[in-house]
Structure 1
Amino acid sequence: MALVELRGVSKSFSKGDETITPLDNVDMDIESGEFVSLMGPSGTGKSTLLNLVSGIDRVDSGTITVAGTEVTKLSRSRLADWRAANLGYIFQTHNLIPVLTAYENVELPTLLLKLSSAQRRQRVELALEAVGLSDRADHYPRQLSGGQEQRVGIARAIVAHPKVVVADEPTGSLDTETSEQVQVLLQRLNKELDITMLIVTHDTDVAQIASRQLVLDRGKFLEKGDEGSMSSQPQPTPHLFQQ
């Protein structure tokens, strides 16, 4: 059984008198530890797919199962608890809380878990170390560069040891050099920590770091390739999940 399974998933939206169907009876499997990128024209439902997988939005029909849990059957209250324990989300615009330090932003997801203060501290410190920001723990977002803010966002996404991390244009707001650094970091986290990743991107360079590329077009998935190019050499990452 795949870690992420979509079966017969459809989702439509109304826009004036028009009905838009970005996902039309689609199936998709993502195996544990896999790194999948999703491309396609704007407005084809890529972000919608992430929101459905993460339970932020609801399907019109079909089922989504993540790590053995049928997400489409969970109530809103149960979804919040499930999401906190199983899924990390990386945003394009970081979505950091400006009045909280990097440490406090990363700590937020752990507050929903049954962890002691010592366990929370250990996880946050390891997550910040994994993204190379241990020395910025006490800095506020306004004191960080765009790349550092995104790395805080990535640390926040992995701090709860999720089964899946989804990312919506994670390099979309970054310059070329910083984008390349984030690509190497995501690649490293996938390989070193065996984190399953699903990334939406318009950037072919970003898509190529994935082990598999899909294209979403007119409501259907097209396989783009079986293997991405791993051009950057990963560096060792702290063993977050062995603690």
Structure 2
Amino acid sequence: MALVELRGVSKSFRKGDETITPLDNIDLVIEAGEFVSLMGPSGTGKSTLLNLVSGIDQPDSGTISVAGTVVTGLSRSKLADWRAANLGYIFQTHNLIPVLTAYENVELPTLLLKLTSSQRRQRVELALEAVGLNDRADHYPRQLSGGQEQRVGIARAIVAHPKVVVADEPTGSLDTETSEQVQDLLQRLNRELDITMLMVTHDSDAACIASRQLILDRGKFLEKGVGGAGMVVDSVGDKR
């Protein structure tokens, strides 16, 4: 079943006198439970794509459907309600609030949902347990390592039981060992909790943990590893 579906999506920006088109009439379908990684040169629209899927930005043309909702054209208030119930976001720089504990940072998305205090507590505890940080619940970000901070960020992304999680360079600020730990965690959450994931990364090792790898270049998708080892296939199946 298609969980994320982009049809004919284009997005352009003005840069001085020049028009930049990072996404040019693209189609993309992500099935429920898939883990898709997205690579490509800097400035090719990878983060733009995440912002479109999450409703932070709107395309110039085309339609985007996520978890059964057409998010193109929704009002800001409706988008905010939809994101709270359906989407988790993992940032490269963690984006934790320094004056809140790990528990309180993870709890934040649940405050937007109609949950009782006991239901919120249960979700937070389960999310922290899923990332192995129950024993750090009362610690502040300054008391955590970079890897622990990112795991708190991942717990925050999954606490509301989202249909899809988007991750923007989730290992980009981590050392090699910690990066591998976070990669293992993301892969396990995808597999064991059946969380659909779309991850942008510059790290080819991180990209390989995904079940499908895409490359975004000059406004179009190339799909890697389909049809045989080393073969690159674009989004409509033409061999490159």
Taking structure 1 as the reference length, the TM-score comes to 0.92
Unaligned runs of 5+ in 1: 228-243
Q: What CA distance in whole angstroms lies between the structure 2 residues aligned with 1:39 and 1:30?
A: 16
State the match for 1:201 in structure 2. Answer: 201
Do 2:89 and 2:166's aligned partners in 1 also have CA atoms closer than 8 Å?
A: yes
Supply the AA of the counterpart residue of 1:61.
S
Equivalent residue, structure 2, for 1:23: 23
Identify the residue that residue 144 of structure 1 maps to in structure 2: 144
The residue number in structure 2 matching 1:188 is 188
Shift, 1:73, TM fit: 2.8
Q: Matches of 2:39 and 2:153 in 1, distance apart? A: 22
The residue matched to 1:3 in structure 2 has which SS? strand
Q: Which residue matches 1:239? A: none
Q: Is the 8 A contact 1:213 1:226 kept in 2?
A: no
Deviations 1:61-113 (A, max 9, x none): 00000111001031111000000000000000000000000000000000000
Alpha-carbon distance in structure 1 between the residues aligned to 2:142 and 2:13: 37
Written as runs of structure 1 = structure 2, the 5 A alignment for 1:223-242 is: 223-226=223-226
- Equivalence for 1:238: none
CA offset digits 1:113-143 (Å, max 9, x no partner): 0000000000000000000000000000000
Deviation string, structure 1 residues 167-193 (Cα, Å, up to 9, x no partner):
000000000000000000000000000
Tell me the alpha carbon deviations over residues 199-239 of structure 1, each in whole angstroms, 9 at most, x when there is no partner.
00000000000000000000000111249xxxxxxxxxxxx
Matched, 1:168 2:168: yes
Aligned to 1:62: 62
In structure 1, what is the equivalent of residue 237 of structure 2?
A: none
What's the secondary structure of 1:72's corresponding residue? coil
Q: How many residues align?
A: 227
Match of 2:159 in 1: 159
- For residues 129-163 of structure 1, what are the alpha-carbon distances to aligned partners after superposition, in whole Å with 9 as ceiling and x for unaligned? 00000000000000000000000000000000000
Distance 2:186 2:151 in 1: 10
Alpha carbons 1:37, 1:198 under 8 Å: kept = yes
1:34-77, Cα deviation, whole Å (9 max, x unpaired): 00000000000000000000000111100000111001031111
Q: Is the 8 A contact 2:58 2:73 kept in 1?
A: no
Q: Which residue of 2 aligns with 1:37?
A: 37
Which 5+ residue runs of structure 2 have no aligned equivalent? 228-240
Across the aligned residues of Structure 1 and Structure 2, the Cα RMSD in angstroms comes to 0.9
One-letter amino acid of the counterpart of residue 188, structure 1: R
Matched AA of 1:178: T
Runs of 4+ in 1 over 4 A off after TM superposition: none
Structure 2 CA distance for partners of 1:226 and 1:132, relative to 1, 3 Å: farther
